[in-house]
Every structure is written in C-alpha cells, then in structure tokens.
Amino acid sequence: MAKKQKKQVEEKPYRKPLIKKRKPNRSIAGDLFLYLFLILVAFIMAFPIIYAVSSALKPLDELFKFPPRIFAQHPTTDNFSDLFVTMGKSWVTFSRYLFNTVFITFVGTAGHLIIASMGAFVLAKYEFPGNELFFKVVTVAMMFTGYVTQIPNYLILNKLGWIDTYWSIIIPAFASPMGLFLMKQFMEGLPTSLIEAAKIDGAGEWRVFSQIVMPNVKPAWMTLIIFSVQALWNNKASTYIYSEERKTLVYALQQIQSGGIARTGQGAAVLVVVMIVPIMIFVFSESQILETMASSGLKD
C-alpha cells in the first residue's frame, strides 16, 4: 500500500508556479508628465553650454545688447579668428601652450590611472597589516580640497626642486585620492574566485591585474580618466609654474579673457575652447560612466 502511494506521489505531474506580471501603475498622463519633466531638466543642464557657444558666435555689438539674447542673430566666427590672431602675437606660440597642456594632461592621467589601479587592486583583494587604516586615511584625504593642501604641497615640491617644472603638476595628480577610492570600491565587486582560477592556470600577478582585473573594471577607469582629464586640462598651474614657455593653454587663454571690454568676444571664444575637450571625452565615454554609476561590478 505504501509503495502504491509513493508511486502516485512520484507520478504527480509538475505544475509550473503562476507568476503574476506586475502592471505599471503609471497612467499615460503620468508618463507624459515624467517625459516633460526630464526634457525640462535636460534643457536646464544644457543651457550653459548652449549659451556659451551662442555667445562665442555673436558679433561684439550683440554681446552688449540688453536684455541679452540667447541665440546670435548674425552668427560669425570672428571671435575665434581674433583669438588665434592674438595668440599668434605672443612671444610664446600657441602650439607651445597646447603642447604643455596636452603633455601634463596625458602623463598625469596615465600615471594616476596606473598607480590608483595597482593600489586599489592590492587594497581590495589582499589582506595585510594596516590595510583598513590606510584606506581610512585615503577616505579622510578626500575631505580636503586643493586649497587646503596647496601650501604643504608647495613646500614639498620646492624641497624636491620641482617648482617651475611639469612635475609640480603631474606628480601630485598621481596621488589624487579620488581615483584610488573609486577603483577600490569597484574592484571589491570582482569575484575572488575569478582571480584564484587565473592563478591556478599559471597566471602571474601582473597578468592577473592587466588581463583579468582591468578589463572587468573598464567603466571605472574610463570614469577616472574623465575626472583626471577635466582636472588637469583646466589647471592653470600658475602657483607652481612661472616660466612663460611652460605655462598651460588655459592660463594663456584666461590672460586674453581678462584683456578688457575690447576682448569680450575673444573671452566668449575662450570658454568654448577650454570646455570642448572635456565635453568631447565625456561624449565618447558616456556609456562607460553610466555603467559605473549603475553597477558595482561582478558578484560571486
């Protein structure tokens, strides 16, 4: 009898559990309101860029109109041509200013990315004495702005003999705590089993770091590149660099911008030239940044 009951239980057909589909509780009017709100927010955020580009295309008489108009009535590129003419009259060429800025930005960003990633990998995946204390120091360092640390930085760089050199801007960029914090938080989400499997297969530490860890945290280091490029590209470096031939492009452009009323049009063109590089980098890596904000990496 017991065998028959057991057989009946085993032969009982499997019933798929019912899954109720959740219906969105928003109405059409709610969706319409949401889209209108998002369009309004997007316009508010894009308005400064639109106005800056429009001002750079205005002739001088339109720049002084009151009330000011958002769009140029007679757009012209004279402001940009006048800007390059003014830069051409300087005893330091425009190409030299551009080289200084590109060199500082490229080397500073590359060094910051490598050092922050390597330090974050050790802090996230290895245990050693003082691990947590070191990361707490990094977190506390994020609370201090550059203005607070400017005097100690200057004294240290002066002692090292790096004042009035490119390294006075590049070396401090390597030690920015923001990059280490961002990379560590993202690397903690990587499965430790993935790293252990690579080591079992014979991969060394450098191969694990470069071929396993870094490709999986690409959104994080793309975001780090954005932040680093923006900070270095807009750095005037006037506190640490005195020689005119080592000045950055932003410093030279701002000197033109402060030339008085006659250079108001050139000043508007300066704003566009300064902001175009960070905006272009952000546009090309937007998807990676959104993935960084929305994800915390792989999970075990």
And the tokens for 40?
């309004």
Count of CB atoms situated within 10 Å of the CB of 299: 8
pLDDT surpasses 80 at 259: no
Q: What is the pLDDT of residues 39-82, one digit of tens each?
A: 999 888 888 888 888 888 888 788 888 787 888 888 888 888 88
Q: What's this model's pTM, rounded to 2 decimal places?
A: 0.74
- How many Å apart are CA 134 and CA 130, to the nearest integer? 6
The pLDDT confidence band at residue 6, using thresholds 50, 70 and 90, is very low
Distance of CA 241 to the CA centre of its chain: 24
- Give pLDDT, residue 51: 87
The pLDDT confidence band at residue 287, using thresholds 50, 70 and 90, is low
pLDDT surpasses 50 at 298: no
Q: What does each C-alpha distance from 50 to 57, 132, 200, 253 come to in angstroms?
A: 11, 46, 55, 20
Q: What is the pLDDT of residues 162-215, one digit of tens each?
A: 998 899 999 988 888 888 888 888 888 888 888 888 888 888 888 888 888 888
Q: Measuring CA to CA, which residue among 175, 189, 69, 60 is closest to residue 114?
A: 175
| Inter-helix orientation angle 249-257/94-125, to 10° | 130
Q: What does each C-alpha distance from 213 to 109, 124, 139, 179, 249 come to in angstroms?
A: 19, 11, 23, 16, 36
| Inter-helix orientation angle 94-125/167-174, to 10° | 20
* 28-43 average pLDDT score: 87
Give the chain's domains with CATH numbers: 83-294 (1.10.3720.10)
* 139-156 average pLDDT score: 85
And the tokens for 65?
């109109």
- How many Å apart are CA 168 and CA 241, to the nearest integer? 8
Higher confidence at residue 30 or residue 32? 32
